[in-house]
A and B are shown apart, each in its own frame.
Chain A
Amino acid sequence: MAGAERLTAAGQVTGRMGDGSADPLLPGLRVPGNRVSRRAIGYWTARAVLNALILVAIESAVIRSAAPAGWWVLVAITALAGALHALIMPRWRFSVHRWEVTSEALYTRSGWFSVHWRIAPVSRIQTIDSHRSLGERIFGLANVTATTASAAGPVRIHGLDRGTADVLLDQLAVVTGQLPGDAT
């Protein structure tokens, strides 16, 4: 945290600050201020459908060539589970994914069935970058990844719309650039 207080404006970098309401998933924490882009629902749905289709295709190919006909039940189950996943997961995920960036820390909530909260001090961020996969580009989305000196995993904010991601990237780059030290 050394050096965080050097920043003159303690407060929001970009996006909104949480209104202080309790996190229904974990009372005691407050909800991060910002939702991700609503287009992310479409992206996650498309991805889930695509994955389910690939799985069904592989299973069908294997069963057609090698296994007895009774195994087609498995394909039906996979298709059903895939459809349910594609219907439920994106909306559930959208309701969970939140983020907030202050001049001192990144705070995110992500997941759906299991939920992760991450808090990473801005003073310990080493690299900050944005990545757009083909699918994300089609939906006009981007994710922002902040790595710290710990190999325990970067902090990712998925499903931001492009404009927000660019602003966030620029501002975080400025903020992290101002802090001295080797971030360990």
Chain B
Amino acid sequence: MTGPAGLPLSPDSGQEPPAAAGTEPAAAGPVLAAAGPTPAAPPGQQPVPQPGGDDWQRLSPRSLAVRPVTDLIRLLPFLLGVLYLHGRGGHGSYLGLGFAAFAIAASVVRWLTTRYRITAERVYLRRGLLNQKVLSVARDRVRTVDLSAHLLYRMLGLRRVAIGTGRNDRREGESFRLDALTLADAQALRALLLTAVAPPAVTAQPVTAQPVTARPVATQPVAAKQVGAQAVAASAAAASPAPAATTGGGEGAAVQARPLAGIPPVPLLPGQVSSPVAASQAAAMAGEVELARLHLAWIRFAPLTLTGLVILGVLFGFAVQFNDAAHVGASAAGAVHRLSVTVGSRPAGLRIGIGAAAVLVAMVLLSTAGYVALFWGFRLVRQQDGALRTRRGLLSTRETTIDSTRLRGVELSEPLALRCAGGARCIAITTGLRVGRGAEHGGSLLLPPAPRATALAVAADVLGVALQPRLAAALAADPLVPHGRLAMRRRYTRALTAAALVVAALTAGGLDAGWPAWSWLSSLALLPLAALLAADRYRGLGHRLAGGRLVTCTGSLVRRRSVLATEGIIGWRIHQSWFQRRQGLVTLTATTAAGRQRYEVRDIPHALALSVASTATPDLVRPFLRQ
């Protein structure tokens, strides 16, 4: 709670101007004091937390209408199985009712037992009926705030809020999630958590063309729902004009989130402002810079990632599970049976061909559908305060805000197929969001598969806040320092050895089992493929240290190029296998709290490795170098 951007929150001891529930807070009043913990607070409007007393907040009661449904949907394969089994005895409907009642009861209990509380320093989350658990995190450790909503939540105006804290979200069951708040509350919370303790250095960065203050926001009469956000804006405005626009931006996102797809940023004059909503929208629009938005042509990259395969696998697993649980016996059912008989009667080669073609077609269709569903309306903007915000999703939406102080770099990732088609993805390296697959991990995405030039431009844009634009572009795109002949030899040795082992195993097995000669002879094709892979892997291998950024690049099947700020490096590992020792190579790993947590410079000559490490973090490494 330091710095001019700090909100004038009352400390935990709690002295604040009294504010009656449902009335407008004073313009400079504490954010959290809009309404006391009055039980008489009207439904839909939450009593806003009050530093001090018993100010635990509940989730939105509207989420009660949704949770039973989503819980039941999650249990659907199991439920259908049970219903199918017992349906014959005529108990199916009772069981169904029982499950529905249980789901409703569970959500009510969850709603009743889940509370959160925000004080000047910390955010608390309390949950659990029997095993009660209180999670808490210091507000200055909140790195990201992620709003997401599936279709039902969107219809009810609800958002799930995930607070990324870097440490807690790593362990299962310790993630800081509020499921769900009303849209306005969620946005107010986000604005509060991300702006309250942002250091002034960042908010002062002139990242946008026109500086805007959101003062009009505070003075306009507003709907009760927006009290929280307005109060944030108001109090921030009172503290200093710069972050006020920020908060306006955070809230304005709310406004655009509904019509969406981005309205062109028309600068409105204060005189033209007719409603507070429009005012905040204008503030948000003027204050932010769009870095990228989805183009329909990008969908051509969809089949080139593994997403389709993953969806296919999930669907297959789901189908099998459903088939087993419900005893449908799909393999005996008409259409499936006929299909399997028809295909099964063909010769082996044709069968494999048909199977592969079917999987390929399904993959292309699914990955395209997945791309559209995940990335529809994708938009990456930089807010007034320098924070990056992405919004995406067709049915389920997701909005992630990444505080610029938490951003440690960017990563360009190019799976082989995508690279061949001239595409790339861009991912933020940031603390609080881990990189990887799955819903929890997708928040750091800065650009879905898109043309390489766009990905490079986004990377350079994101890096360019703190660096010279030319250097930023060079870090993203330019050739790196290669690791030399020995590293190249190691690539070939490893790839060819692995291929030779496979060929040897297949040949031995084939001769032993009497397979036709072509089956194991064709495996010889692996050797030239391995050589190509090795050559490409060497081409991708490199590093560079410039402008306080460590660039590493490795891989061929998935080539990743990471640009990591050296101030984000919190330790080094040097690994040397026995084979590497004979060649004088090491693998240098920078450990960090952001992104993948470790960034490797693979097979680098050892003298070079030490000079990279000691140049990147001289204070840390120098004492351990030989004098």
* Interface membership of B266, Cβ < 8 A: no
- Distance of A136 Cα from B438 Cα, bound (Å): 39
* Interface membership of A52, Cβ < 8 A: no
Closest to A5 in B: B619
Q: Which of B43-51, B119-127, B414-422, B572-580 lies at the interface? A: B572-580
Partner of A104, one of B571, B606, B623, B626: B623
- Distance of A1 Cα from B578 Cα, bound (Å): 32
Partner of B571, one of A4, A30, A116, A150: A150
Q: Which of B577-612 contact A (CB under 8 A)?
A: 577-578, 581, 586, 589, 591-594, 597-598, 606-607, 610
- Distance of A1 Cα from B589 Cα, bound (Å): 18
Q: Which of A18-26, A57-65, A70-78, A158-166 lies at the interface? A: A18-26
**B626/A28 in contact, CB under 8 A:** yes
Known: A28-B607, A119-B621. A124 touches B576 (CB 8 A): no
- Distance of A116 Cα from B624 Cα, bound (Å): 14
**A182/B141 in contact, CB under 8 A:** yes
**A116/B141 in contact, CB under 8 A:** no
- Distance of A7 Cα from B211 Cα, bound (Å): 42
* Interface membership of B443, Cβ < 8 A: no
In the complex, which residues of chain B have a beta carbon less than 8 angstroms from the beta carbon of A148? 570-571, 591, 593
* Interface membership of B625, Cβ < 8 A: yes
Q: Number of contact residues on A: which range applies? A: 35 or more
* Interface membership of B187, Cβ < 8 A: no
A18 to B: closest C-beta gap in Å: 8
Q: Which of A80-88, A107-115, A137-145, A167-175 lies at the interface? A: A107-115
In the complex, which residues of chain B have a beta carbon less than 8 angstroms from the beta carbon of A155? 571
Chain B, residues 424-458, CB within 8 Å of chain A (1/0): the string is 00000001001000000000000000000000000
**A107/B597 in contact, CB under 8 A:** no
B93 to A: closest C-beta gap in Å: 49
Q: Which of A20-39 contact B (CB under 8 A)?
A: 20-23, 25-30, 32
Closest to B432 in A: A184
**A149/B593 in contact, CB under 8 A:** yes
B489 to A: closest C-beta gap in Å: 19
Known: A114-B578, A184-B431. A149 touches B619 (CB 8 A): no
In the complex, which residues of chain A have a beta carbon less than 8 angstroms from the beta carbon of B150? none
- Distance of A28 Cα from B620 Cα, bound (Å): 15
Partner of A149, one of B166, B576, B598, B624: B166
In the complex, which residues of chain B have a beta carbon less than 8 angstroms from the beta carbon of A150? 570-571, 591-593, 597-598
* Interface membership of B170, Cβ < 8 A: yes
* Interface membership of B617, Cβ < 8 A: yes
A-B CB contact pairs (8 Å), 30 listed: A21-B626, A22-B626, A26-B606, A29-B574, A102-B623, A104-B619, A104-B620, A104-B623, A113-B578, A114-B577, A115-B575, A116-B573, A117-B575, A118-B571, A119-B572, A120-B570, A121-B620, A124-B570, A148-B593, A150-B598, A152-B571, A152-B592, A152-B597, A152-B598, A153-B573, A153-B598, A155-B571, A183-B593, A184-B568, A184-B570
User: Shortest 6 CB-CB distances between A and B: which pairs?
Assistant: A152-B598, A149-B593, A184-B593, A152-B591, A120-B571, A150-B591
Q: Which residues of A contact B (CB under 8 A)?
A: 1, 4, 18, 20-23, 25-30, 32, 100, 102, 104-105, 107, 113-121, 124, 126, 148-153, 155, 182-184
